[in-house]
Homo-oligomer: A and B are copies of this chain.
């Protein structure tokens, strides 16, 4: 099934206690589409870069069979750049700079051939642009979107309109609380479902992820990683693995959504092992399947024995 991905492409400069990388490939659309590329093709990427965007990066994306017909390359423009430094506790990071550059005036232009995409994944971009993208697509099967505190606080009304058009919203726990204005995560998710989405996925980093639908709550554990080099992009890798699996299987049953959450968690867990997309680059489908099954073991317990004592 076809998957449309819209978001940022960036050159990230990232420092963690374990190393540093300069002008490395990043951005939500990159992490989402590379992660999803392990499951589905074609992936149609809509985004914007400057003429400084490395040819090697374009070639890599093409090698993953990511279709770049929707990528705007602004001649003489500069690509979006972000610099960040993570603390020893990787949950804490400082943004050192954000240079929007060509991304500041990004208007997603959806090629005609993309307008019949079955699945859509929207990275964390202006909710006005999210609405603009969704409204151009002809009856998609599932629309997944991401957002952040900046839009929840700054463009709430536009975000509410975008949410009405989404099926799945992917948030971290602080975004969930802020959007719903409710500290209890389960209640907050129910409030957000009343804003439009059929389901909410709360990404909790080292604490795993939770899928909440009107009928069910599914809790995915975090993979117990001891060596995390760079947490950047984990949330987008999650979204890519999630939507990639759904697009591959074309199955929107609740059982399959749960599996998709585990595939999302799997891709996120690989993503943070190395800087930028380095680990995603070397990944094999077999490694993904092995880790998927490891996730199963992580939360598995045997109930038969308990029945003996009931």
Contact = CB atoms under 8 A, between A and B. Distances in A.
A186 to B, nearest CB: 4
Contacts of A91: 183
B299 A293 contact: no
Interface string A194-223: 000000000010111010100001111110
Contact of A306 (B88, B89, B286, B292): B292
Contacts of A259: 301-303, 305-306
B289 A310 contact: yes
Nearest to A87: B183
Interface in A232-261: 248-249, 255-256, 258-259, 261
Contacts of A226: 184, 186-187, 190
Nearest to A89: B183
A296 interface: yes
A301 to B, nearest CB: 4
B249 A309 contact: yes
A21 interface: no
B224 A217 contact: yes
A226 B286 CA distance: 39
A299 B224 contact: no
Contact of A303 (B184, B292, B298): B292
Assembly of this chain: how many copies?
2
Interface in A264-310: 285-286, 289, 292-293, 296, 298-303, 305-306, 309-310
B301 A255 contact: yes
A224 B301 contact: no
Contacts of A300: 258
Interface string A163-189: 000000000000001000001111100
A212 B248 CA distance: 35
A113 interface: no
A57 interface: no
A248 B299 contact: no
A249 B299 CA distance: 21
A296 B301 CA distance: 8
Contacts of A183: 88-91
Identify which of A89, A218, A301 gathers the most chain B CB atoms within 10 Å of its CB. A301
Contacts of A306: 259, 289, 292-293
A184 B226 CA distance: 7
The 4 lowest CB-CB distance pairs between A and B, nearest first, are: A219-B221, A207-B207, A89-B183, A299-B299
